[in-house]
Amino acid sequence: MSLRAIVFYLLAALILAATGLAVTRKNPVHAVVFLIFSFLGTAMLFFLLGAPFLAALQIIIYAGAIMILFLFVIMMLSVDEAESTGFALFRWMPSIVLGLLFLALSALAVLRESGSGALLKPAMATPRDFGRFVFEHYWLAVEIISFLLLLGLLAAVLVGRGKREKRVGPEGEGEEET
């Protein structure tokens, strides 16, 4: 077993353990902190699989921006109510059974695919190659994604805005809040 394989299995164990802990935590803050570890492990995995630029993006955007956004919202809402409790077995069993069924089926589909057991050869797509490829072949998609981000910004501002307050018009009316 080569060094890369050992690193891969260690990273896989780290990702699965951190994600599993994140999913089962009661406190959302703990879940987010565990999830940051999971995303850092994923970034290392991307680096191992030859995508250093995506590893950097994963750390900056996922572990940095998105998770911090989650933390901000959790602390802003200060949610301390307990989750509504039901009979836990009835709540958890169907999803776990269905999820395991999905996992078994997908494992079967992947394992039966011929050539799926081939060993991955180490290769590296440098950020220069990656950027050149994306902007030569997928420039339209990049523009659409940037437009989507702009729309997301607008939607977040519109939805997250509180009660609309009427501006004081030049006539001096409309000072009451609607």
Distance between CA atoms of residues 91 and 85, nearest Å? 9
Distance between CA atoms of residues 38 and 61, nearest Å? 14
> Of residues 48-107, which lie at the interface with another protein (CB under 8 A)?
48-51, 53-54, 57-58, 61-62, 65-66, 69-70, 73-74, 76-77, 79, 81, 83-84, 91-92, 94-96, 98-100, 102-103, 106-107
- The least distance separating another protein from the CB of residue 73, rounded to whole angstroms, comes to 5
> Which residue number, 147 or 174, has a Cβ lying nearer to another protein?
147
41 by Cβ neighbours in 10 Å (0-12 / 13-18 / 19+) ranks as: buried
Q: Which of 10, 134, 143, 168 binds another protein (CB under 8 A)?
A: 134
Distance between CA atoms of residues 52 and 125, nearest Å? 7
How many of the chain's residues bind another protein (CB under 8 A)?
89
- The least distance separating another protein from the CB of residue 177, rounded to whole angstroms, comes to 15
Site string for another protein, 5-44 (x = CB under 8 A): x--xx--x--xx--xx-xx----x--xx--x--xx--x--
Q: Which residues contact 103 (CB under 8 A, 6 or more apart)?
A: none
Distance between CA atoms of residues 80 and 10, nearest Å? 35
